[in-house]
Amino acid sequence: MKDYPNVTILDHPLIRHKIAILRDVNTGMKEFRELVEEITTLMVYESFKHVPTKKVMVQTPLELTEQTMVADGAVAVVPILRAGLGMVNGVHTLFPTARVGHIGLYRDEETLEPHEYYCKLPDGIENSVAILLDPMLATGGSASAAIGFLKDRGCKKIMLMSIIAAPVGIETVAEAHPDVEIFVSTLDRCLNDHGYILPGLGDAGDRLFGTK
């Protein structure tokens, strides 16, 4: 795959360890959900080195000191339904006050085209860093469409976080949206004939919510 300046493949050994368990067909729903949250927290920690901050004065037991804290409203989180929901708590662990928007998309099983069924974003999201969440970046159609909704709402700083990506998904999003920072934990080999990532982990939504 070509190198893209807006794409980071985190490839961290602690995250790889958790993804190995996530992929396992014998990993049950509860453990799967917990792992998705933990991996998301690690991804946020690794990718947020430049979050907007503010100066605050703190009185220690000894003296008054100027410190920095994350700026109010700096971050808004936007899961792509359904599977992105599994990542929200992982972001809230580090940004507990991040407001949450929702974008509902499902892929047509034949054409693999995304179809929108819901979009509700927080007021003022255009002034925050919008973190778009979806554990799976397959063809890239869903993520590209979701980024389009955020741009239509005036978002200027958008980050996409996906746990597992296929090369074609990264290429599609990186080329359509060179201004969006894309963070993925691991790059898989390819898609199968039904648009599933190989080796992948199967259907993330079904495994998170126990629907199959």
- What is the helix, strand, coil percentage profile of the chain, to 5? 35, 30, 35
Q: Which residue in the set 79, 90, 122, 140 belongs to the binding site for ligand PRP (CB under 6 A)?
A: 140
Q: Are 168 and 140 in contact (CB under 8 A)?
A: yes
179 catalytic residue (yes or no):
no
Which of 19, 91, 131, 134 is the binder for ligand PRP (CB under 6 A)? 134
Tokens encoding 92: 């809230």
Shortest Cβ 76–ligand URA spacing (Å): 24
Determine the 3-state secondary structure of 94 from DSSP: coil
Burial class (CB in 10 A: 0-12, 13-18, 19+), 157: middle
Asked if 169 touches ligand PRP (CB under 6 A), the answer is yes
Active site residue 107: yes
Instruction: Kindly state whether residue 136 participates in binding ligand URA, applying the rule CB under 6 A.
Output: yes
Asked if 191 and 197 touch (Cβ cutoff 8 Å), the reply is yes
For the chain, what is the total number of helices (H) and then of strands (E)? 6, 13
**Per CB under 6 A, 136 contacts ligand PRP:** yes
- 40, 128, 139, 185: which one contacts ligand PRP (CB under 6 A)? 139
The answer to whether 86 and 37 are in contact (CB under 8 A) is: yes
Nearest approach in angstroms of CB 27 to ligand URA is: 15
Among 79, 84, 101, 200, binds ligand URA (CB under 6 A): 200
Instruction: Number of residues interacting with ligand URA: please give it, by CB under 6 A.
Output: 10
Site of interaction with ligand PRP (CB under 6 A): 80-83, 105-107, 112, 114, 134, 136-143, 169, 195, 204-205
